[in-house]
Structure 1
Amino acid sequence: MTPPIHIFRSIIYIILLVSLTMATAAAGDGNTVPLSRGQVVYAPVYSHIYIGDRERPFLLAVTLSIRNTDPDDAIVVTKVSYFNSEGTRLEEYLKQPVTLEKMSATRFVVHESDKTGGSGASFLVEWETVKSVSPPIIETVMIGAQTQQGISFTSRGQVIKEK
């Protein structure tokens, strides 16, 4: 004996309602931005790359860019450390914390002639603020030119710790 058709319809409606509810919850409203009160960010750097079969070093100038993306509040950059390929700290760029006002940016430069970082160099950037804000964008821009050849590329920082 088969159940009446209205039972099948009810089951199908329940399945559709549950599926739709789960899909909506998984998608969210699309406007959720994870906020933070501070982070430690690892930013990869290439003070040189290798070209040709002989792996000849191609020296690059590096710009570390820190951009406060929050439209309402300032952030404070507390530390900017530069490391070489072996993980040895080469330089501390800040003598004291730097405040980045809303929507402002700052930069730090490693000169093209400075090859001490190597192909696996990196920055560690630490920032903080009193209230939760939209995290900054931290990226590196590498550029170099030799004879008639030029190269440029970027690399985005990666959060390794929330404060």
Structure 2
Amino acid sequence: MKKVALLITVVSFLFSCETKQNNEPKPSSHLESMKWTGKVNDSLIEGSSYLSVYSQIYSTTEHKTHDLTATVSIRNTNRTDTIYINSADYFNTKGDLIRHYIKQPIFIKPMQTIEIVIDENDIEGGTGANFIFDWSVKKLTNAPYFEAVMISTSGQQGLSFTTKGVDLN
């Protein structure tokens, strides 16, 4: 009987343990499949863009926050030209680099959209998280369009809003 009680205690303990969240981005097949392995044309124009993203927002007071899921959308608005995203770096409220989502150039086909999702339980970015994107395009080609949608639901209540990227050049 003692062995059964011990076994139940051990099993209960194992199921109640929380695993620590790994803050490295989850492998994303759509980003992996878009890595650019060719030579990048030196006649491309380079640029940088900033996008604010909220992992949390304040509610009622500065001491109460709501966690949010953020979907970062990277869009190629060109009908015929491919664009290249050279890096996507995610920073927290204090300006500390949290992670690199894109470490080597990827390509985005004409009219294609790719996304990065920051899970609701990933609150490392805080209330002032942001991205810096470095990108390259052909001359006379539209720059990438960056947008984020933040959302949270609880019971019958929902909250959502968007932010748009700005060119840093």
If the length of structure 1 is used for normalisation, what is the TM-score? 0.73
Q: 1:84 aligns with which of 92, 115, 127?
A: 92
The aligned residue for residue 61 of structure 1 is 69
C-alpha distance in 2, partners of 1:37/1:115? 35
Identity %: 37
Greater shift after overlay, 40-49 or 90-99?
90-99
Q: Which residue of 1 aligns with 2:126?
A: 118
Q: Post-superposition, which runs of at least 4 consecutive aligned residues in structure 1 deviate over 3 A?
A: none
Aligned mates of 1:127, 1:149 — CA distance in 2: 38
CA contact (8 A) 1:61 1:112 kept: yes
Q: Which structure 2 residues correspond to residues 1-163 of structure 1 after superposition, within 5 A?
A: 37-53=45-61, 55-161=63-169
SS in 1 for 2:152: strand
* Separation in 2, partners of 1:77, 1:38: 10
Aligned twin of 1:18: none
Residue 130 (structure 1) shift: 3.5
How much does 1:90 deviate?
Answer: 0.1
User: What stretches of structure 2 of length at least 5 have no aligned partner?
Assistant: 1-43
The amino acid of 1:58's aligned partner reads H
Contact 1:76-1:97 within 8 A present in 2 as well: yes
Structure 1 residues 72 and 148, CA gap change in structure 2 (3 angstroms):
same
CA distance in 2, matches of 1:54, 1:123: 23
Q: Which runs of 5+ in 1 are unaligned?
A: 1-35
Equivalent residues, number: 126
| 1:116 counterpart SS class | coil
Distance 1:54 1:87 in 2: 19
Q: Secondary structure at the match of 1:69?
A: coil
What secondary structure does 1:119 align onto?
helix
- Does the CA-based 8 Å contact 2:88-2:103 persist in structure 1? no
User: Larger radius of gyration, structure 1 or 2?
Assistant: 1
TM-score, normalised with respect to structure 2: 0.70
For the aligned residue pairs, the C-alpha RMSD in angstroms reads 1.5
